[in-house]
Amino acid sequence: MTRFSPKSFLRPSLVLTAVLAALPLARAADPFDQWIWRGPEPKESFKGNNYEAAAFAKDLLVIVGNGFKVLARKEADPAWRIYDSGTQRPLYGVATAHDTFFAAGARGTLLSSKTAETWTPRQSPISVPLFAITYTDSVFVAVGDGGTILTSRVGSQWLPQSSHVIDTLYAVTYRDEIFLTVGAGGTILLSGDGTYWLPQTAGTKRTLHGVTVNTGKPRLFVAVGDEGIILTSPDGKTWTSQTSGTSKTLYGVEFGQGTYVAVGGEGTILTSTDGIAWKPRASGVKHFLKAVTFAKNTCWVVGWNGAILESAAFSK
- Give domain limits for the chain: 29-311
Q: CA-to-CA distance for 288 and 239, rounded, in angstroms?
A: 27
- Select the more confidently predicted residue: 315 or 27: 315
Cis peptide before 280 (omega within 30 of 0): no
DSSP bridge partners of 93: 104
Mean per-residue pLDDT, 97-111: 95
Pair 87, 105: CB distance under 8 Å? yes
Better pLDDT: 27 or 314: 314
Which secondary structure element, helix H or strand E, spans residue 105, and what is its range?
A: strand 100-105
Q: Are 109 and 102 in contact (CB under 8 A)?
A: no
- Find the radius of gyration of the CA atoms of the chain: 23
Helices marked H in 144-188 — which ranges?
none
- 250 φ, ψ to 5°? -100, 125
Angle at 225 between CA 219 and CA 230, to 5 degrees: 45
pLDDT 10s digits, 154-206: 888 999 999 999 999 999 999 999 999 999 999 999 999 999 999 999 999 99
pLDDT digits (tens, 9 = 90+) for 39-87: 999 999 898 899 999 999 989 999 999 988 999 999 888 899 999 999 9
Q: Model-level pTM greater than 0.85? A: yes
Mode of pairing for the β-strands spanning 208-213 and 51-57: unpaired
For the beta carbon of residue 200, count every other beta carbon within 10 angstroms: 19
Q: DSSP label at 123?
A: B
Cα separation, 62 vs 72, whole angstroms: 5
**CATH fold for domain 29-311:** Methylamine Dehydrogenase; Chain H (2.130.10)
Contact (Cβ atoms closer than 8 angstroms) between residue 192 and residue 178: yes
Asked whether residue 225 carries a pLDDT value surpassing 90, the answer given is yes
Report the C-alpha gap between 31 and 9 in whole angstroms: 43
